[in-house]
Structure 1
Amino acid sequence: MAAEPLRVAQVVGKMNRGGVEAMVMNYYRAMDRRKVQFDFFVDEDSSFPQRAELEQMGARMFLLPPYKQMHRWLPALTGHLRQNRYRVVHCHLNTMNVFPLFAAWCARVPVRICHNHSTAHRGEGKKTVMKYLLRPFDALFATDCYACSKEAGQWMFGRRRMEKNAVTVVPNAICCERFCYSDTKRTECRGALGIAPDRFVLGHVGRLAYTKNHAFLLQVFECLLDRRPDALLLLVGEGELRSEIEHKVTEMGLADHVIFAGAHADVAPFYCAMDVICVPSLYEGFLLAALEAQACQLPGVYSTAASQEAMVSPLAVRMSLSESPASWAEALLRQAEAYSVRSGEAGNLAVRQAGFEIGDCARRLCEEYLRKAEAAQ
């Protein structure tokens, strides 16, 4: 009989449609599941849209109390880790990782991975203070440190660890083929959204949350409308700030020019429907949307909070948020004009050559899991 696959405990907290969830799902879909299987530890108040797909792929799921109820969450997680005798636990809660890593240490899990996907911004008040308070303790119970980018690694673990190569950068890789540009997808997606073929579409893909800086995005779009009165703003994603953003759109008189498309399991057709993308984030660990857009040969402008590592082609440029919304609008129009002709493979090639093809990255992570688990026996 074939050996059972190694079960890796993935502690993800909330399982909705955020960037961390997308990254873990991308790796799981591409993983050789005959060798490595994932078990997901998920807060029970998650929307959990991936559940059916996970069950089909053979994942086991453990629902925990919300991690804000730490007095219940911690013993529940510790119990599951101890009972299932995991050899590897992979934690994705950023600065909150100290808690699941402590649980894994208590459960005597030999390989304990602390993975950081983000940084911080002073505008989030108490949340930012908590991040800085917890950050010094995050590697305390970890055997391995991972980050989605060099910037995220340095922010969490410090320059010295990065210089000593004590932090592994695990890129937010994608399936390039899935995001290949298609005229058919563009026509179908625009038709479903009621967008005429000749309308100019500025897009944004991401959570409707503080970090994505939608207030600034709306100012940029307002300036862009002065130059392109036919423009539409297409927002793909959901989040806690949706009602606030909708109110702002109405207040600015933009309601007839903004489409809230909601969250979708497959965002690839939306990139095809756009003419240019704008993501003026206040902070990021990496920026998955930048890779996806470039694979679709969609030009874009991103804030300098987005990792330079994600800018793999001239399609993507970064701008400081200190620049005016009018300057951003001008840059977006220049990008759209420079790359108005799109083809299927050009963007894909740049992303592949930069090392962000998920098949290759998942193979390396699979081998790393197996090597660490074997060494820990």
Structure 2
Amino acid sequence: MIKILFVYNGIPRMGGIEAVMGNIYRTIDRKAFNIDFLFFGHEEEDDSELTKSVSGDSHVFYVPPLREGIWANHAAVEEILRRYQYDIIHTHMDASGAPVLRIAKKCGLAIRIAHSHSTDIVSLKAPKTLKGRIHKLYIEWQRSRITKYATHYVGCSLKAGEWLFGEQVCWQDDFIIFRNAIDAERYAFNPSVRADFRKRYGLEGKKVIGHVGHFSYVKNHPYLIDVFARIHKKDHDIELILIGSGEDMPKIEEQVRELGLSDHVRFLGDQTNVYEWLQCFDLFVMPSRFEGLSVVLVEAQAAGLPCLTSSSVTKESDISGLVEFMDISLDPDVWAQKILQMFKDSRPRVSPLDEIRRKGFDSKTNIKVLEQFYRKCLDDKKGA
């Protein structure tokens, strides 16, 4: 049995990284691999679906978050690593994983994997405050150290790998691209679910724009609301549904109220059945400031949804021909006109499951890539 520790800088919520960790855990060969989880935070804060799914010989550990003291955090991480003697540590923390990997190296853990889930970090784009500028410097410093402590590397896309590790690493055998894969069959278009949801939530006869994402700077909700305000002036039968939660949610709710859109924008909070809500949508819009390779964008395509996303999102995200890209520097009117045209050009929905599987985005087949990589890492160690 190969013992692996996943480390995440926070408590799991409804987000892309959490979805990736959960998909790996659910689909990996549990007879050959055992995965434990280490989260930065407190157990009483954790009500996540990921943690609820952990069973068997797997464990979930919590250590004090960094805001409560770096030394307390590092000491707790070191104690767990020394006690449980893992074969592999796999950080899902982008640049902030460098200190954890340093501790793992200190503890003699030979296989140390850093995973890049993004193509940027918020503070690198928006250091508007002193705190933001300090955090930017911290992240840049950790990014420069990641290759000093990691032995192997994973990126959700080539662009994500190059951002965190540099181009040279991404041409080595120690690096792989591990797609943000999903259970494609679960997200396949289902007309019965669509009809049920639209009837249940009063959406019959409506055109529905959907968005799923954490309410934070990166997801660019203010721009999305500005776009929708312009759409609403042209067509009152279009509704916007927002799934997710986060620190910026109150500001977005206030923006919606000020624009007089409260009857046409729905805030659903976190939902465990996103795969069903995607059936209800007619169009998926995601004007993110940056992304690695968005899990929810893959999910939306599996549901057969036409998608409009920002040109900051990696082009590798378009795995079906259903995704169109636009620059978020454009006036919101341009996005609004494009969305209205996409509604006019809509076609019968078909889920591109074969294409998703062929390109390695189905978790049941994609997991083999990671299993082989883990075994290769250990074989490299034995041969060293």
TM bracket (short chain):
over 0.9
Match of 1:26 among 23, 26, 44: 23
Give the match for residue 227 of structure 1.
Answer: 234
Deviation at 1:318, TM superposition (A): 0.8
**In 2, Cα distance between equivalents of 1:77 and 1:225:** 51
Match of 1:329 among 322, 331, 336: 336
Give the match for residue 357 of structure 1.
Answer: 362
Q: Percent identity?
A: 28
TM-score, normalization: structure 2?
A: 0.92
Q: Secondary structure at the match of 2:230?
A: helix
Q: Secondary structure at the match of 2:224?
A: helix
Residue 235 of structure 1 contacts residue 260 of structure 1 at CA under 8 Å; is this kept in 2?
Answer: yes
**Residues 176-216 of structure 1 deviation map (CA, whole Å, 9 limit, x = unaligned):** 10100111111232344x23211111110111111000000
Q: How does 1:227-376 map to 2 (within 5 A)?
A: 227-343=234-350, 346-376=351-381
**Residues 328-377 of structure 1 deviation map (CA, whole Å, 9 limit, x = unaligned):** 1222233333334113xx32222222221111111221122133234435
Compare 153-162 and 255-264 and name the one that shifted more.
153-162
Q: Secondary structure at the match of 1:89?
A: strand
**In 2, Cα distance between equivalents of 1:152 and 1:315:** 22
* Residue-pair matches, total: 370
**Residues 230-279 of structure 1 deviation map (CA, whole Å, 9 limit, x = unaligned):** 11110011111111111111111111111011112231011111110110
**In 1, Cα distance between equivalents of 2:137 and 2:202:** 43
**In 2, Cα distance between equivalents of 1:189 and 1:307:** 31
Deviation at 1:65, TM superposition (A): 0.7
Q: Secondary structure at the match of 2:349?
A: coil
Deviation at 1:83, TM superposition (A): 1.0
Q: How does 1:90-169 map to 2 (within 5 A)?
A: 90-118=90-118, 119-120=120-121, 121-125=124-128, 126=132, 127-164=135-172, 166-169=174-177
1:8 correspondence with 2:4: yes
Give the match for residue 78 of structure 2.
Answer: 78
1:181 correspondence with 2:184: no
Give the match for residue 170 of structure 1.
Answer: 178
Give the match for residue 50 of structure 1.
Answer: 49
RMSD of Structure 2 on Structure 1 (CA): 1.7
Residue 288 of structure 2 contacts residue 310 of structure 2 at CA under 8 Å; is this kept in 1?
Answer: yes
Residue 87 of structure 1 contacts residue 376 of structure 1 at CA under 8 Å; is this kept in 2?
Answer: no
**In 1, Cα distance between equivalents of 2:345 and 2:203:** 22
Give the match for residue 62 of structure 2.
Answer: 63
Output the amino acid matched with 2:55.
Q
Residue 300 of structure 1 contacts residue 335 of structure 1 at CA under 8 Å; is this kept in 2?
Answer: no
Output the amino acid matched with 1:260.
F
Compare 328-337 and 247-256 and name the one that shifted more.
328-337
**In 2, Cα distance between equivalents of 1:367 and 1:273:** 37
Output the amino acid matched with 1:347.
P
Q: 1:89 to 1:186 in 2, by over 3 A?
A: same
